[in-house]
Structure 1
Amino acid sequence: MWTQKTIQLKARPRGFHLITREVEQALPELADLSVGLLHVFIQHTSASLTINENADPTVRVDFEEVFSRLVPENQPYYKHNDEGPDDLPAHIKSSLLGPSLTIPVTNGRLALGTWQGIYLCEHRDYGGSRRLVLTLQGE
C-alpha cells in the first residue's frame, strides 16, 4: 500500500514545535499497516524537520538558543538579505537539520522511541504556514 498526502501546518513563531500528533492524525491509514515507512518532507527552505525529545519543553527552548548562537543574524559577510535579517540564517539552519525524515511503522504506529517526537523547526520570525508531503508505504 502506498499513499501520499500534503498537509498544511498553521503558522508558528520561530522555534522548535512538536507536530507528531498532527502528522499521525493526517494518516488514519497508519492503523492498517503491520510494517512500513513514513517519509515526511517539508516543502520550504527556511524551516526544517528533526526528531528529538518530546517530553520536556525546555529542550525545544534550548535548541532555539543554540541554533541562534550557531548561526547568528546580521553578519556583515551575508549577501542574501533581501527578505530580512532572519532569512539567510534560516536557510543555513534548514540545511543543517534537513528537509525530510523517514520513520518506521510497526503494528499500526510510528516506531518512535518513548521520548521521541517530530519537530517542525521554524527558523523565521514570520515564516507563515508550512506544507508537508507525507508518503506512507507498507503492508
Structure 2
Amino acid sequence: MKLINHIIRLKTATTLDFIDITDKIKAKLKKAGIKRGVINIQSLHTTMAVLVQEAEPLLISDIKKVLEKVAPRTTKYMHDNFDIRTVNMCGDECANGHAHCKATFLPTSCYLNIMKGDLQLGKWQRIFAVELDNARSRQIALQIIGE
C-alpha cells in the first residue's frame, strides 16, 4: 500500500472561475503508478470549491447564476465590515463575504475511486476547482492511497 501526496498549483482568472483539473489529476495519478485505490482531492482555501460536474458551458453558466443569486456580491456582509470585525484579518484583507457564503453550499473536497490506474468517473463527470473569490494563486492537495 502506498500513500502519495501532491499539490496542484493554479492561477484563477476571475470570480466564479471553473477550472477543469481532471487531466492534471490524471497525470499525477499516472505518475504515481497506483492501479487501484482512492484519491482525495482537497482545496486548501475557504473560498475555493472542488466540484464533480459536467463540463457543459451552459450548465456552468446556470450554476454561476444560481450561486450569484444565493450570495450576491452586492449584498452587505458583516464579514466585510472591517470596522467591527476583529478576527482572521490580514494586511491585504478584501471584502469577500459573498465568496464565503457561496462556499457553504459547495464541497471543498471529493473522494474518488481509482480503478485500473484511472479515476472512476461517469461519462460526463469532470473535476473542477471553482474560484468563489477574486483571481489569485490557489492550491489543490491530492492524497492518493492504493497499490
TM exceeding 0.5: yes
In 1, are the aligned partners of 2:75 and 2:98 still within 8 Å (CA)?
A: no
What is the CA deviation profile of residues 70-97 of structure 1, one whole-angstrom value per residue up to 9, with x for unaligned ones?
A: 1112324x2111512xx11111212211
- Structure 2 residues not aligned, in runs of 5+: 83-93
Structure 1 residues without counterparts, runs of 5 or longer: none
How far residue 33 of structure 1 moved from its aligned partner, in angstroms, is: 2.7
Corresponding pairs, count: 133
User: Any residues of structure 2 matched to 1:27-38 within 5 Å, and which?
Assistant: 27-29=29-31, 32-38=33-39
Take 1:26 and 1:9, find their aligned partners in 2: how far apart are those partners? 15
Residue 18, structure 1, aligned to residue 20, structure 2: yes
Q: Distance in 1 between matches of 2:6 and 2:51?
A: 19
Q: TM-score, normalised by structure 1?
A: 0.87
Bigger Rg over Cα = 2
- Relative distance call for 1:134 and 1:53 in structure 2 (3 A) is same
CA distance in 2, matches of 1:50, 1:113: 14
Match of 1:97 among 106, 114, 119: 106
Q: Is the 8 A contact 2:29 2:118 kept in 1?
A: no
Distance in 1 separating the partners of 2:121 and 2:6? 20
- State the superposition RMSD in angstroms: 1.6
Residues 12 and 129, structure 1, Cα contact 8 Å, conserved in 2: no
Name the SS for the 1:12 alignment partner. Answer: coil
Secondary structure, counterpart of 2:79 in structure 1: coil
Q: Does 1:136 align with 2:144?
A: yes
- Which residue matches 1:73? 73
Q: Which moved more, 1:8-17 or 1:94-103?
A: 8-17
